[in-house]
Homo-oligomer: A and B are copies of this chain.
Amino acid sequence: MTKKFIIAAAAMLIGICASAQQALWGGSQIKSPEINPDNSVTFRLRAPKAVKVQVTGDFLPTQKIETPFGTFDGPGFADLIEKDGVWEFTSAPLAPELYSYSFVVDGLMMRDPSNVYMIRDVASVTNVFIIGGGRADLYKVNDVPHGSVTRVWYESPSLKMNRRLTVYTPAGYEQNKSKKYPVFYLLHGAGGDEEAWIALGRTAQILDNLIAQGKAEPMIVVMTNGNAGEQAAPGESVEGFERIPGMQQRGMMDGAFEMSFPDVVKFVESNWRVYKDKKHRAIAGLSMGGYHSMHISKYYPDMFNYVGLFSAAIMPGKDAKSPVYQNIEEQLAAQFAKKPALYWIAIGNKDFLYQANNEYRALLDSKGYDYEYYETGEGHIWKNWRIYLTEFVPMLFK
């Protein structure tokens, strides 16, 4: 009965998906993307009626795109060629990396129907694939012990709000009931939320792999929602599936999130087996999360011994009145007088925040404050933030 059951169940369940039906009832199955032995990738789409099919993504050479706000490097496009109703394109051999892509069919952007793997970044959902090897092997699920990932809600008295966060606990946390762990707070960028680092950031995979290789201390990683006016990621709050994600969240850079950060630390330290001192706390973030990390760590100079600014925004807007943003140089003086174990600045040399980071480093240099600097190529992209995470984590709590 098993086989009959499966076929009948399949017929009932996947009635909605014509492409899956076709595969099941004997139509030829499309494989897309297919990673070839030389690490070129073949993309395929069955679209007999289409006139023009392209693929776009960060695996292609960039091209200039014009916007009202200037010219930027955008992802390139490549044409697929049709044969018997199936369109196909094979890329050049690709370097190890996690890549995103979409199809464009007669001008309409769409996901690859043969690939169920997608990741949302702000309001964009794209398909993803990984070319393994080198650093990108850290982004894969490997045959190593795996930590746990928990979505949990905490009460923030400062923000008068019940809020959601994501917590990674390393393999062994459940078994080693007397062991205490250090905590790394990891903050997302503008338009992001408590899902960003775990999805595109591959935090769980990177931590699993670095810990298994003995390169990182077992630690707890706490991924907050840095939009102080929001409870939770899109789809996870009372606004449900009707909320349209975007870059403009409520309460992003007005100081409220930074002020409220002790609520997060207190919640974590009351509910997980962790050390509760500065020596065992780190904070880092990308873009707006780097900005948050900078301002939180100086406003609460006794809280974090390790600070990471990944492609960080630096200075607040002129209308930002929060105490967090007052007397910035005095706050920095107090923070650096206490000699943090690591103050780490990383940025790509094509990032639109490159100049702002140069100016900030010049300020730190002029004061003789001790920090480390890590520069990569390219710009304000997840590729860089994954690299920074893999570089930063091994330096913590040692």
Contacts and interface: CB of A to CB of B under 8 A. Distances in A.
A223 B313 CA distance: 41
A295 B186 CA distance: 44
Given A47-B108, A48-B107, A320-B2, A247 B313 contact: no
A152 interface: yes
Contacts of A50: 106, 108
Contacts of A288: 5, 9
Contacts of A73: 15
Interface in A14-62: 14-21, 24-26, 31, 35, 45-51, 56-58
A151 B148 contact: yes
A254 to B, nearest CB: 8
A208 to B, nearest CB: 10
Interface stretch (A116-124, A258-266, A275-283, A338-346): A116-124
A27 B235 CA distance: 25
Nearest to A320: B2
B124 A20 contact: yes
Interface stretch (A135-143, A301-309, A358-366): A135-143
A47 B106 CA distance: 9
Interface string A248-271: 100011000000000000000011
A35 B240 CA distance: 12
A67 to B, nearest CB: 5
A216 B125 CA distance: 36
Nearest to A291: B5
Contacts of A45: 108
A14 B122 contact: yes
Given A107-B48, A120-B116, A75 B15 contact: yes
A27 to B, nearest CB: 11
Nearest to A314: B1
B123 A247 contact: no
A116 B162 CA distance: 24
Query: Which of A9, A109, A143 is the most central at the interface, judged by chain B CB atoms within 10 Å of its CB?
Result: A9
A123 B17 contact: yes
A236 B235 CA distance: 22
A378 to B, nearest CB: 10
A111 interface: yes
Nearest to A351: B12
Query: Which of A109, A145, A232 is the most central at the interface, judged by chain B CB atoms within 10 Å of its CB?
Result: A109
Contacts of A126: 16-17
A134 interface: no
A114 B146 CA distance: 35
Given A26-B68, A72-B15, A2 B118 contact: no
Contacts of A7: 69, 247
Interface in A57-96: 57-58, 65, 67-70, 72-75
A146 B162 contact: yes
A68 B25 contact: yes
A145 B152 CA distance: 11
A1 B317 contact: yes
A110 interface: yes
11 contacts: A5-B313, A10-B191, A12-B352, A13-B122, A13-B247, A15-B65, A16-B124, A49-B106, A50-B106, A111-B125, A149-B151
Given A13-B122, A17-B126, 14 more contacts: A5-B253, A9-B191, A9-B247, A12-B379, A13-B380, A17-B124, A20-B122, A50-B106, A110-B110, A116-B244, A117-B234, A128-B241, A141-B236, A146-B162
